[in-house]
Amino acid sequence: MDEPSRRERKQQESADHISRTAMTLFAQRGYANITMEEIARAADVAKGTLYSRFAVKEAILSHFILAEMRDAAPALMAELQDLSGCRVRLQVYFRQSARFAQQYRDYLRPYLQYRFAQIFQPDRPRSNMSQILGSLLSEGMANGEIRCDIALPQQVLALEMHYVGVLTAWLSLEGLDLATLLDGMLALFLDGAEVRHAA
């Protein structure tokens, strides 16, 4: 991958600054109570600059969450590589995902609504979930732990969609433990729903 240009780095730094400033405001007064104009003032940027980077408040939130996921990925992947077996790695990955989701629960509804609204835009920013799951499942295939007759992209997509479904249910219903739900999701993905009787 090519190194970003100086202009691209400056744009990234500006976007990061705006998103961090916005998250501070959200934490202080609540996401719904903050306007784009207030974010521009607090970040000390012109409204035109803000709107050129982010068309709506949800885009700022999305930028922050995706950046947090990106920044956490190297340490997470190092932790996963120290574990033995694809099932254990996937389980730990989803438990870390549960902790992340719990930390940002108040923001996940607008984040997901915004992300779903952009789902058919080919140039939308992507999370690193598919990359991480692809890496873990690919290693599992190479080690004979994950079946190879179903293409890797299809397996990654299935697991991502399971995750989104569980996350949506957790956000919609009270009293659910996300880590437990994700453990069940993973067991269903790896073991299937069909009862297999001994021959």
Whether residue 77 sits in one domain with residue 51: no
pLDDT digits (tens, 9 = 90+) for 23-42: 999 999 999 999 999 999 99
pTM over 0.85: yes
> Rounded to whole angstroms, how far apart are CA atoms 98 and 83?
19
Average pLDDT of the chain? 93
Which strand (E) or helix (H) includes residue 59? helix 57-81
* pLDDT score recorded for residue 1: 47
Whether residue 184 sits in one domain with residue 126: yes
Whether residue 101 sits in one domain with residue 185: yes
Whether residue 76 sits in one domain with residue 37: no
Whether residue 137 sits in one domain with residue 85: yes
Q: Is residue 128, in this structure, part of any structural domain at all?
A: yes
Which strand (E) or helix (H) includes residue 183? helix 178-191
Q: Is residue 61, in this structure, part of any structural domain at all?
A: no
CA distances from 142 to 77, 117, 160 (A): 18, 36, 21
Please report which confidence band the pLDDT of residue 170 belongs to, taking 50, 70 and 90 as the band edges: very high
Is the pLDDT assigned to residue 185 strictly greater than 80?
yes
Whether residue 177 sits in one domain with residue 89: yes
Is the pLDDT assigned to residue 72 strictly greater than 60?
yes
pLDDT digits (tens, 9 = 90+) for 93-143: 999 999 999 999 999 999 999 999 988 888 888 889 999 999 999 999 999
Whether residue 145 sits in one domain with residue 51: no
Whether residue 2 sits in one domain with residue 84: no
| CATH number of the domain bearing residue 39 | 1.10.10.60
Q: Could you give the number of structural domains in the chain?
A: 2
Number of H helices, E strands in the chain: 9, 0
Average of per-residue pLDDT across 52-74 = 95
Q: What is the dihedral of CA 94, 193, 109, 173, to 10 degrees?
A: -110
* pLDDT score recorded for residue 158: 96
Whether residue 90 sits in one domain with residue 31: no
Whether residue 98 sits in one domain with residue 33: no
Residue 129 structural domain: 69-191
